[in-house]
Structures are given as C-alpha cells and as structure tokens.
C-alpha cells in the first residue's frame, strides 16, 4: 500500500497536486477495472469505446414510493430503446447494516400512524431476490454492501465475523465498505474478515496508525472504477470518522479515521478529470444526517449519489442536497435499494431509485444459501436456541427517544444493582421481537440476546454530581440532535431507568434539557448520585458510558448478558412499554428519525 500524503483542508484542495504514489495506486485500480471491462465486453460482443468522455446529464432522479415501484421497474426493463439495443440499463443494488441477521425476522413498519410488523429479510430470501433482479440485467448489475455486516448477532459474535463472510461471498457482492462496527473484533480481525470478501473493498479515510512502516498508509483502496453498460463509474468509500468515540476506543486501536471532506475533492478530481468517469458515487457509512450535511458541502461537487448507511434509515425518495442526492437502504437485510440508470447514445437519460422489501412471501428461499446458513449456525445452534425468557409486549428499538427494549435492559440493571440510575447506550441494532398471536408471548433466546447486546460488556458503577449528570445529558442530546450534522453520533438518545428527562430538540446546545428528576425528585446539582452502565474497553477508568470524571468507579463482576438472564429467570414473562422516562416538547415519543426538515419520513 502506498503512503498517504497530507491534504489541504480548505475548499481549494480540489486543485491539490496528486502524489506519485497515489497516481500509481490510481493506475493500478484503473487498469484492473479496465481489464475486467475488456474481458466482459469481449465476451458479450459489445463494441464500446473506452475513455470516450461520455457526459452525464444533470437530470433529476425520478424517485418512487413502493406502490409505484413494480410498475416502474417493469417499464424500465421493457424500455423500447433498451430492448432494441439503442440504450442500456445499469442497475446498482445496495444493502447495508445487515448486522449478522441470517434468518427472516419480524420487521417494523409505520402505517397510518400505527406500528405494523411483517416478516422480512433472511440471507436465503435475500439471495433469491438479488438473483431475480440480476437476471433481468445480468451483465450490467453491481451489488454493493455499505458495512456493519459481520456484527450484531450470536453467530457473528461467536465466530468474530468469520461465519458471515462466506455467505456474502456466495451472494456475490461486488463492492464492500467497512462500517463503524466492523472494528468490533479489533483491527487485525477486521482486516482478516474484510479481505476475505471476494468483492472489492473501498475506504478513503481509514489509515494504519502504527509504529511500523505501514503508519499513514490507507488500510483499503480509496476508490474503485468499473466499466459497465457503456459507462465508466467511480466509487469512493468513507467510514464514520467518529467510530473511535461511538464504540469502545480499544476496538479502533491502530486505526486513524479522518473526515471525508479532507480528501474527497481530490479523489473526485481523479475520477472526473483524469479518469473521465461518467458518474461518481460516494459509498458512505456515516449516518443520514452526516451524509446530507456532506451533500451540501462544495467539496462533493461532481458526485452523482451518496449511497449511505449507518442509521438504518429507509430512504424511499433520494434526499436532494445542494450538490448531490443521498440514499440509505434500511437495515437487517430487510430491504434492498435499487438504482437504475438508462444510457442512450453515450448520455445518461434517466435515474430511477426504489427501496424494495426483502419479502419471504414473494421470494422463495434459495436452497443453497439456506444450507450455508444452517452450516454457519451449526456450531453454536444449541446455545443460541436456549430459551432465557418471554415477553408479552413487542421488544423493539426503532424509536429515537425511548424504547421498550432498552427499558427492559435498564430495568434489569436497576433490579440487579439498585443504583440511583441505570444507563444503556442509544443502540439501534436488533430487529423487533413480536409476541405470537396464539400464545400472546414472544420467546427470548440467547441468539436474540446477542442481537440486543452484541458485545457482552461488564457492568460498572460510579458516582457523579447532579451538575455532572445534567451536563452529560446535554452532551448526549447534542450527539443526537446537533444542528451541525457532522457533530451528530449515529446512535439515538441514551436510555435510562431511575430518572425522568424532558428536553427540547430545537433549542441550542447546552440549553435543551428542561428538567431532570431522579427517584421522583428534582435533580439536586450538588447531590451525588450512583449509576451503573457498561464498561467500554479503552476508556479511562473514570469514564463510564461517556460520563467523564466519575468518582469511585468500580467494575461489578457481572456482564450485562448475565444480568439479563438472571432478571428474566425471576421476572419472565416481561411486558416493557414506553413509560415517558424521556420526553421531548417538540417531538412525539414515537419519533423515528433524528433527521427532520428535509422532507424525509421513516416508514
């Protein structure tokens, strides 16, 4: 890997000189793509010129709701100009945030203002769906994953991601981006898992931060170029630069993350001016708010789409930024984004984007993949299938402010340790678990416990003053709702038991909290309160759940999984629900996104 050179941070970095090492890397990436294109074009008998300078027309994308998607998809596939060979269709398929969910599962939808749950996802269903779509445009389809794939389930945790990789390879992904949770097993394991993918890896902002000769090198190639359907497409990858703060810092040891705006203009210039790419895409795992913020920056001029990930948002209509469009394809393998591009006479005539459900009632399970999933689960199946409790209400995590699932987790922490306050991070992963309509109960297994808490961290206690608690809450709310998207973390509002918080999203930083009650009494700024949360490996001993300056910190000798199992052994069946532990004056308790004011709706 070639050495990374320093970059200018100003807007003028678009004119930055390209180092010799980066030119060599650029040529290598380009020639690999060129040879692949020549092989395919020869095999298909295509008389396509290379480097012909096709011009991408700045036409608006036509974006569709699901009710129109099937009709429009058939219309695209049967386009007269495409069928007559006068035009070609390029298809980009995009998944992200699968989080190791191998089987079909309950999925949440909001319809007519009410929660609705349907079975979605599963690798065997996903493979059939992808192959069905590929077969309508086999020579001109690219399949992309946006990261957070091999973390988030029992199989993923027990195998440190290794069991998931062959399944993705069997589906046949073309381009892979690391997500913020790909670091969960440490840098070396991340590299082993990522490089075991047969697809191309791209990421332009993850660097070796070491003491050896690799220091400063990019871990993955920054971009990829693909000739397809008569077009030359360029893809640049970016992971969330806040990863070392969002996850336990130890996970990212040996990795340096940088902001996308530091070098994205340079790579756009390479792809647009030197490579003469007809379209340029950013593959990002930064969260919808950050991605829309990036779409408004001058440094991304020349990008056609930001194909985003991280916050599990379901973008059904591309969001228009000042300079490009932003999409995100949901999570857990429940959805597949499909972008079709029609090319005629060397010009891009139309874009059509859809977000499609991975629906087991519509796509039969692929037999080969079903067998591979069973093989991946087999070494751990007995433990994963062990029942640890039941719930009479739906366990879910989709709400931004408060969730039944995390109320259950903090109930268990409070029961076990009896602090003044129990805390849980604002996690988003884990599909819902819906009670069986016949029995009225949902079975909680060890497998589901690993989906709720994919890292079995040790519980830790400490003491803070009321003033520390107030200031920390302000900081956490800013992480979720900062007006500057670059300052928003990907997670939702922190969860808790033992206190009540009321806030206003629209207020300024440091002024959002309206009141905090602890134990039913108004917060006393001078009083000392005890709390329990999970240990984050790599944090200072006096930091717990991003609360800094904690006094009397102490590990409690119990992991959260053990706490949950003990709680369920006494209290099952449970029935957690929204209780108003955390409320906003300017948002409903069922708020489903942190991105407001751009016309986006989660559904």
**What pLDDT score was predicted for residue 297?**
96
Instruction: Report the b/e string of 491-516 with b at 16+ CB within 10 A.
Output: bbbbbbbbbbbebbbebeeeebbeeb
pLDDT for 44 equals: 33
The predicted-structure confidence for 495-524, as pLDDT tens digits, reads as follows: 999 999 999 999 999 999 999 999 999 999
- Per DSSP, what are the bridge partners of residue 309? none
Measured in residues, the chain has a length of: 603
Q: Determine the pLDDT at residue 40.
A: 42
The confidence score (pLDDT) of residue 52 equals 27
Per-residue HEC secondary structure of 30-58 comes to HHHHHHHHHHHHHHHCCCCCCCCCCECCC
| Residue with the larger pLDDT of the pair 111 and 68 | 111
Report the share of the chain in percent with pLDDT over 90: 77
**Does residue 317 contact residue 323 with C-beta atoms inside 8 Å?**
no
What is residue 598's three-state secondary structure?
Answer: coil
CA–CA dist 386, 446 (Å, integer): 6
What string of DSSP letters covers 219-258? Answer: SS-SEEEEEETTEEEEEEEEE-TTHHHHS-GGGGTTEEE-
Provide long-range contacts, Cβ within 8 A and 24+ apart, for 482-489.
Answer: 482/509, 483/509, 484/293, 485/289, 485/290, 485/291, 485/292, 485/293, 485/294, 486/259, 486/290, 486/293, 488/287, 488/289, 488/290, 488/594, 489/242, 489/245, 489/246, 489/287, 489/426
What's the whole-number mean pLDDT along residues 279-291? 96
Cα atoms in the 13 Å half-sphere on the side-chain side of 528: 6
> pLDDT: is 596 or 176 the higher one?
176
Residue 82 — very low, low, confident or very high, per pLDDT cuts 50/70/90? low
CA atoms 486, 489, 491, 493: torsion sign: negative
Q: 135: how many CB neighbours lie within 10 A of its CB? A: 9
Query: Which of 282, 270, 273, 303 is CA-nearest to residue 26?
Result: 270
Give the pLDDT of residue 313. Answer: 95
Q: Where are the domains of the chain?
A: 20-46+55-369, 385-584
Q: CA–CA separation, 403 vs 432, rounded Å?
A: 11
Report the range of poorest mean pLDDT among 13-17, 340-344, 377-381, 429-433: 13-17
According to DSSP, the β-strands at 499-503 and 513-518 are antiparallel
CATH class of the domain comprising 385-584: alpha beta
Write down the pLDDT at residue 115: 94
Report the alpha-carbon distance of residue 452 to residue 31 in Å, rounded: 44
pLDDT value for 462: 98
To the question of domain 20-46+55-369 being in CATH 3.60.21.10, the answer is yes
Please determine whether the domains at 20-46+55-369 and 385-584 fall in the same fold group of CATH: no
Q: What angle do CA 249, 253, 254 make, to 5 degrees?
A: 150
Give the pLDDT confidence score for residue 18 in this predicted structure: 47
- Span 329-380, pLDDT tens digits: 999 999 999 999 998 877 888 889 999 999 999 999 999 999 999 999 999 9
pLDDT averaged over the chain?
88
Of 315, 339, 346, 322, the C-alpha closest to 593 is: 315
Q: What is the pLDDT of residue 66?
A: 44
Q: What percent of the chain has pLDDT over 70?
A: 86
pLDDT for the residue numbered 489 = 76
Residue 23 has pLDDT above 80, yes or no: no
Q: What angle do CA 287, 292, 294 make, to 5 degrees?
A: 95
pLDDT above 50 (res 434): yes
Q: Per-residue pLDDT averaged across 220-244, rounded?
A: 95
**β-sheet bridge partners, residue 62:** 352
What is the pTM (predicted TM-score) of this model?
Answer: 0.87
**pLDDT tens for each residue of 235-284:** 999 999 999 988 899 999 999 999 999 999 999 999 999 999 999 999 99
At 28-81, the pLDDT tens digits run 554 455 455 444 433 333 333 222 222 233 333 333 344 445 545 555 555 656
Is residue 238 a contact partner of residue 202, using CB atoms and an 8 Å limit?
A: no
If 0-12 CB within 10 Å is exposed, 13-18 middle and 19+ buried, where does residue 361 land? exposed
Can you give the pLDDT at residue 72?
55
- CA distance linking residue 276 with residue 499, whole number of Å: 58
Q: What is the DSSP string of 477-496?
A: HHHHH-SSGGG--SS---EE
Report, as an integer, the average pLDDT of 138-159: 97
Count other C-beta atoms under 10 Å from residue 488's C-beta. Answer: 23
């Amino acid at each position: 890997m070639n050495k990374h050179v320093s970059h200018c941070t100003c807007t003028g970095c678009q004119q930055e000189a390209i180092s010799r090492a980066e030119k060599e890397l650029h040529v290598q990436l380009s020639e690999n793509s060129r040879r692949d294109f020549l092989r395919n074009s020869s095999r298909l008998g295509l008389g396509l010129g290379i480097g012909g300078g096709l011009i991408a027309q700045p036409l608006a994308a036509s974006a569709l709701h699901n009710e129109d998607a099937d009709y429009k998809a058939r219309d695209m596939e049967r386009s007269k100009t495409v069928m007559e060979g006068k035009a070609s269709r390029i298809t980009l398929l995009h998944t992200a945030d699968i989080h190791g969910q191998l089987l079909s599962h309950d999925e949440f939808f909001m319809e007519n203002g009410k929660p609705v749950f349907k079975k979605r996802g599963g690798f065997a269903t996903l493979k059939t769906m992808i192959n069905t779509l590929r077969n309508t445009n086999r020579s001109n389809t690219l399949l992309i994953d946006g990261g957070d794939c091999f973390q988030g389930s029992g199989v993923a945790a027990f195998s440190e991601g290794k069991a998931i990789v062959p399944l993705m390879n069997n589906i046949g992904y073309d381009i892979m981006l690391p997500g913020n949770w790909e670091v969960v097993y440490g840098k070396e394991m991340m590299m082993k898992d990522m490089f075991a993918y047969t697809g191309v890896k791209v990421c332009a902002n993850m660097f070796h931060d070491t003491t050896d000769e690799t220091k400063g090198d990019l871990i993955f190639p920054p971009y990829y170029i693909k000739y397809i359907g008569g077009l030359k497409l360029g893809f640049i990858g970016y992971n969330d630069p806040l990863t070392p703060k969002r996850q336990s810092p130890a996970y990212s040891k040996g990795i340096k993350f940088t902001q996308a705006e530091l070098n994205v203009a340079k790579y756009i210039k390479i792809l647009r001016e030197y490579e003469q790419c007809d379209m340029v895409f950013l593959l990002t795992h930064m969260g919808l708010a950050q991605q829309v913020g990036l779409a408004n920056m001058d440094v991304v001029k020349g990008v056609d789409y930001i194909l985003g990930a991280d916050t599990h948002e379901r973008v059904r209509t591309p969001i228009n930024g000042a300079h490009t469009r932003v999409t995100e394809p949901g999570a857990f393998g429940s959805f597949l984004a499909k972008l079709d591009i029609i090319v005629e006479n060397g010009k891009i005539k139309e874009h059509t984007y859809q977000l499609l459900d991975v629906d087991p009632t519509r796509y039969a399970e692929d037999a080969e993949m079903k067998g591979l999933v069973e093989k991946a689960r087999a070494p751990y199946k007995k433990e994963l299938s062990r029942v640890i409790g039941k719930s009479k209400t739906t366990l879910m995590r989709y709400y931004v402010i408060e969730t039944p699932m995390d109320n259950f987790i903090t109930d268990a922490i409070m029961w076990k340790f009896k602090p003044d306050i129990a805390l849980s991070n604002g996690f988003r992963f884990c599909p819902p678990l819906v009670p069986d309509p016949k029995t009225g109960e949902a079975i909680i297994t060890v497998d589901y416990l690993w989906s709720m808490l994919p890292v079995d961290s040790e519980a830790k206690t400490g003491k803070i003053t009321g003033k520390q608690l107030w200031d920390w809450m302000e900081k956490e709310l800013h992480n979720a709702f900062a007006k500057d998207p670059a300052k928003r973390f990907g997670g939702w509002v922190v969860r808790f038991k033992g206190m009540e918080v009321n806030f206003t999203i629209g207020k300024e930083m440091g002024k959002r909290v309206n009141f905090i009650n602890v134990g039913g009494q108004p917060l006393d700024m001078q009083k000392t309160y005890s709390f329990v949360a999970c240990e984050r490996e790599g944090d200072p001993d006096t930091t717990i759940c991003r609360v800094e300056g904690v006094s009397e910190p102490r590990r409690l000798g119990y992991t959260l999984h053990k706490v949950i199992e003990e709680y369920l052994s006494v209290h099952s069946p449970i029935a957690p629900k929204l209780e108003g532990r955390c409320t906003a004056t300017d948002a409903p308790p069922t708020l489903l996104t942190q991105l407001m004011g751009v016309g986006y709706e989660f559904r």
